[in-house]
Amino acid sequence: MSVDYAVRTDGLIKTFSGMEILTNCCMNVQLGTIYGFLGPNGAGKTTLMKILTGLLQPTAGSVEVLGLQVVKHREEILRKVGSLIEVPVFFERLSAEANIRLHLEYMSMTGVDIKEMLEMVGLTHTGQQAVSTFSLGMRQRLAIARALSHKPELLILDEPINGLDPMGIREMRDLFVKLVKEHKMTILLSSHILSEIEHIADTVGVITRGTIVRELSMCELRSQVPGGLEDYFFGIMSGGHGIA
């Protein structure tokens, strides 16, 4: 068990109906960093994130989150992790504030300034407006606020900038960097927008056909791949190491 890592998986396998979706998957996310998780459609990103949050059981292998084995410590991990995976579900008739209040009650968290949370994600003026009337981007902002609201140590965000406008993308980018720098959080996020990952990630992990083929720090990547993350990613996709 290592406390230097927020996430460690080793030899992780997940099968659905006998089909191996994750194959010998090894992920290492260092504490206090932003890890950009990349891979083509269907590579297994969401499946892995669901396993990390206890939504799916691994078929085999070791899965540690914040130094705890997920299979044995699911409840404890859920309190320390905030997540946004797939389409967020809300109480549609309630306001943004009421949705977060209910989440905090469920998490047995008190003393959280919900208005501040909503301000952080640019949702200050929605008042009593029902979530059912929110745009896609507003729902995404609310989902991020909810994931943050119980002050997790680790944020797991599956394509968090989906549906956000350019301003929203920049605001979330700044927020994620601030959360890591000022609040010592660790963030694992997936995205298909390579330029976004290039902007904020400390490390990138690339998964293809269920296996993380490579993890590399952005510093190494910048020094070794002149064409940056796009060249690196497409290098791996075409069967190489991504490094010339």
Q: How many CA atoms lie within 13 A of 63 on its CB side?
A: 27
Q: Which is nearer to ligand ATP, 11 or 42 (CB)?
A: 42
Q: How far is the CB of 111 from ligand ATP (least distance, A)?
A: 35
Paired strand residues for 208: 211
* Residue 83 touches ligand ATP, criterion: CB under 6 A: no
Q: Residue 12 carries which DSSP code?
A: E
Q: Which is nearer to ligand ATP, 41 or 223 (CB)?
A: 41
Q: How far is the CB of 54 from ligand ATP (least distance, A)?
A: 15
Q: Among 12, 21, 27, 121, which residue interacts with ligand ATP (rule: CB under 6 A)?
A: 21
8 Å CB contact between 20 and 210: yes
Count residues near ligand ATP (CB under 6 A). 10
Q: Which residues within the stretch 31-50 sit at the binding site for ligand ATP (CB under 6 A)?
A: 39, 41-47
CB atoms within 10 A of CB 223: 9
Q: How far is the CB of 206 from ligand ATP (least distance, A)?
A: 11
**Nearest Cα to Cα of residue 89 among 45, 133, 142, 49:** 142
Q: Which is nearer to ligand ATP, 27 or 117 (CB)?
A: 27
Q: Compute the distance between CA of residue 51 and CA of residue 43 in angstroms, rounded to an integer.
A: 14
Q: How far is the CB of 103 from ligand ATP (least distance, A)?
A: 24
User: How far is the CA of 78 from the CAs of 53, 75, 162, in angstroms?
Assistant: 7, 5, 24
Binding region for ligand ATP (CB under 6 A): 16, 21, 39, 41-47
